[in-house]
Amino acid sequence: MLRKLTLAAAALCVAGIAHAEPREMRYATAAPEATPWGKFLNETIADIHSRTDQLKVVPYFSSALGDEQTALRQTVRGRIDMSGQSGVATSLVAPSFELLSTAYLFENPEQSDCMFDNHIGPIFAEQMEGSGLVLLSWVEVGHSYTSSKEAIQKIEDIQGYKLRIPPTTATKFFYDELGANGVPMGVVDMVPALKTGQVNGITTSTVYGIAIGLPKLAPFTLVHHATHDVGTVTVSKKIWDQLGDEEKSALGVIDERVQELRVAIRGAETALLGQVAAAGAPVYELPAEEKARWKAAGERAAARLVEEIGGDAPEIWEKIQKAKASCS
């Protein structure tokens, strides 16, 4: 009898230990660890762990679990627990999210912040949840720029130019309107393509592009700020539904800290562009008259995109425009 009681007590003890083990959640990101995104993610994870001992969030940097598109699909399936990705990747599961990638949509970062903090989430949360994702927060990806092997200072310079562009219809339409030979591809493939001559320039986010050394391969830096990319932090709905209130509350710290990442990325943009210029590489900005031509191309591309997406795109585009007006 004593032996049975002892075994039963041991079993309960083991069960208690097993129950105390935190749930491991894999977080996929394309960002290298040694970037503002990597630093922010590590600090945020530490904050999550300080709020609950029920979760162990493990980051996988530099597309270790696949590129953004692959990781997001795996998050939808519940094979990856969490993912942080650009708006480009988010549009895979919420097609109308791509409308936020139209060129020169935002007048300034403050307007963008206002829109995302107060209006954009409710527009897309239901659509994303229906696709298997729970929207936690935003990721400041930053403004786009172009590194090229030859100088691009006006539309005529870009016409016919082989340029890597993000793999979205919004970007393709915009660069079509500019007359560029845009080659859509993910971030994993773009540097090899530049080295082999498949493309002669790359358009990507400013911090990411400079952080991975693009100006060394394509030294002409064009600061055009055509797009302001804001991505998403998502949790697989399959996983979210298994979490308790404490775990969900702890993950909320990601949204609480969203402004910190914005400040970090925008500061890094300025600092990195300054470093490129200081190193002697040519850094250009579009003159006002030329930028007006690019903006006109963006307006034409946006109209094409709304029609191309179809479905609820006209309705969502109207909501985005109302949000923009309220934040002007």
Domain boundaries, the chain: 2-326
Tell me if residue 320 falls in helix, strand or coil: helix
Residue range 2-326, CATH number: 3.40.190.170
Phi, psi of 221 (to 5 degrees): -110, 115
Strand-pair partners of 229: 142
Phi, psi of 127 (to 5 degrees): -65, -40
Please report the sign of the dihedral spanned by the C-alpha atoms of residue 275, residue 278, residue 279, residue 281: positive
The alpha carbon torsion through 5, 9, 14, 16 (nearest 10 deg) reads 140
Which residue, 202, 207, 171, 170, is CA-closest to 187? 202
Tokens standing for 211? 């952080």
Tokens standing for 139? 């990721």
Q: Are 143 and 269 in contact (CB under 8 A)?
A: yes
How far is the C-alpha of 13 from the C-alpha of 291, rounded, in Å? 68
pLDDT in tens, the chain (328 residues): 545 544 444 554 444 444 569 999 999 999 989 989 999 999 999 999 999 999 999 999 999 999 888 999 999 999 999 999 999 889 888 889 999 999 999 999 999 999 999 999 999 988 899 999 999 999 999 999 999 999 999 999 999 999 999 988 999 999 999 999 999 998 889 999 999 999 999 999 999 999 899 999 999 999 999 999 999 999 999 999 999 999 999 999 999 999 999 999 999 999 999 999 999 999 999 999 999 999 999 999 999 999 999 999 999 999 999 999 999 9
Residue 5's pLDDT is 45
How far is the C-alpha of 40 from the C-alpha of 231, rounded, in Å? 15
This prediction has a pTM of: 0.87
Task: Give, to the nearest 10 degrees, the angle between helix 288-309 and helix 169-178.
Answer: 130
Which residue, 188, 199, 193, 213, is CA-closest to 163? 199
How far is the C-alpha of 229 from the C-alpha of 140, rounded, in Å? 7
Strand-pair partners of 139: 231
In the numeric block, the tokens 């032996």 are attached to 3
